[in-house]
């Protein structure tokens, strides 16, 4: 359980770092900040790929509430970021809108994945409860 918790916390930290880098880049538009965004986006993808997937059903049945809470927090954070990104999109120049749109698309894909995982955990937990009855 501690390993799973650590993986989830690392993932959440990477997401927060990416959000911070995105915010900084939107303010400054410097190449340095763009490189930070690209770096943290890459780190986030690597971290997500490293999350243990094979034991997800086992972890979900043993500790489904924990994972549901982690994914809910990630979804809340990403949704808030999406709202901020979308609200300022219309006032930007075309090139900036395109970059923001790609970030929005990435976050939407992550949201879909996290929502799907939450549904899998809920289903696995429900199935496990039926097996115990």
What is the 3-state secondary structure of 14-68?
HHHHHHHHHHHHHHHCCHHHHHHHHHHHHHHHHHHHHCCCCCHHHHHHHHHHHHH
State the pTM of this model: 0.54
Per-residue pLDDT for 100 more than 70? yes
Domains of the chain, residue spans? 2-132
Per-residue pLDDT for 54 more than 70? no
Is residue 82 a contact partner of residue 108, using CB atoms and an 8 Å limit? Answer: yes
- CB contact set of 19 (below 8 Å; sequence gap of 6+): 77, 81
pLDDT at 131: 45
* Tokens read off for 114: 């996290």
pLDDT at 69: 83
pLDDT at 115: 92
């Amino acid at each position: 359980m501690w390993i799973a918790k650590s993986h989830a916390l690392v993932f959440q930290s990477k997401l927060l770092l990416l959000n911070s880098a995105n915010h900084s880049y939107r303010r400054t538009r410097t190449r340095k900040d763009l490189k930070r965004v690209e770096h943290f986006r890459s780190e986030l993808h690597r971290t997500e790929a490293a999350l243990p997937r094979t034991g997800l059903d086992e972890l979900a049945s043993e500790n489904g509430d924990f994972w549901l809470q982690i994914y809910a927090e990630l979804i809340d954070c990403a949704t808030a970021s999406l709202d901020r990104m979308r609200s300022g999109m219309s006032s930007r120049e075309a090139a900036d809108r395109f970059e923001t749109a790609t970030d929005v698309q990435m976050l939407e894909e992550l949201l879909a994945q996290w929502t799907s995982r939450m549904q899998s955990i809920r289903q696995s937990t429900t199935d496990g409860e039926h097996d115990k009855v």
